[in-house]
Amino acid sequence: MTSAIEQVDRWPRAILFDLDGTLIDSVPDIATSVNLLLASESLTPLTVNEVRSMIGHGIAKLVERAFRARDIALEGAPHVAMTERMMDIYKDHLTEQTVLLSGTEDILRSYHGAGYGLAVVTNKPEGFSREILDHFGFSAMIDCVVGGDTGPARKPAPDMLLHALKQIKVPASDALMVGDSPADIDAAKAAGVKSVAVHGGYTPVPANELGAGITIDDLNELPDAIAQLKP
């Protein structure tokens, strides 16, 4: 794959990837953690598919949605407390059942080897994201990790993408965002970054309805998508 990538003119100079639902399938570990949190309040568990539909806007939103599914509206201090408890639970289950999605390893290694700038831009906490990337041996390939607690406003705001691009010194016109959710694609639009949507992520909205420049079935199709999007 590396040779095919190297033959493509150097656009984009940088590729920004979402994490959950784009590079990894983390739902089993997240569902385990959510259900441990619910069990601590004597609440019945959610299915993996129910949890899957709740992912995408950070852990605080996930906790809010999980409790709402059990007819509990979390607000204020109780919401903060449950979010902190969820963080404590999930940090012990980050990589037990999480797996790479198809094409992830080949794509990251090939684009890194060809000299492209790579970043992970995710609403998951930065520390958790770095631990997962390190677990899979990707840390040395990723030039920048921007998480939901890094500082910039979270996706779908453009701030996280623009922060990553500033760190790797690449303009928005020379970058590409690859994600699976409305938050990813909307953030890319707001940042002036072209985008690719990946099927099978954590959103009830079909990938081909997200408004990305092109939609792919998995990351193995990314080089062809880039060739089509190239200015």
pLDDT digits (tens, 9 = 90+) for 32-63: 999 999 999 999 999 999 999 898 778 999 99
Which residues are bridge partners to 118 per DSSP? 15
Average pLDDT, the chain: 94
Answer whether residue 7 shows pLDDT above 80: no
The answer to whether the Cα torsion of 159, 179, 50, 126 is positive or negative is negative
Q: Convert the pLDDT of each residue in 101-119 to its tens digit.
A: 999 999 999 999 999 999 9
The Cα 104–Cα 23 span in angstroms is: 6
Rounded Cα gap, residues 148 and 55, in angstroms: 13
> How high is the pLDDT of residue 58?
82
Predicted local confidence at residue 112, as pLDDT: 97
pLDDT band at 8 (very low <50, low <70, confident <90, very high): very low
Residue 59 has which token pair?
């852990």
Beta strands in 98-158 (DSSP E): 99-100, 117-121, 144-146
Contact 119, 16 (CB under 8 A): yes
User: What is the residue whose two structure tokens read 């890094």?
Assistant: 150
pLDDT tens-place string over residues 182-206:
999 999 999 999 999 999 888 888 9
pLDDT of residue 212: 97
Eight-class DSSP state of 205 = S
Tell me how far CA of residue 223 lies from CA of 20, 21, 29, 196, 200, in angstroms.
21, 19, 30, 11, 19
- Enter the DSSP assignment of 20: B
Give strand ranges (E) for 113-220.
117-121, 144-146, 175-179, 194-198, 214-216
pLDDT class for 9, splitting at 50, 70, 90? Answer: low
Q: Tokens in use for 78?
A: 């109780």
- Cα–Cα–Cα angle for 35, 104, 140, rounded to 5 degrees: 95
Residues with catalytic roles: 18
What's the CA gap between 58 and 54, in Å, rounded?
Answer: 10
Give me the mean pLDDT over the 141-167 stretch.
97
Longest dimension (CA), the chain: 57
Helix (H) or strand (E) holding 5: helix 2-6
Among the listed residues 204, 226, 195, the one whose alpha carbon sits nearest the alpha carbon of residue 9:
226
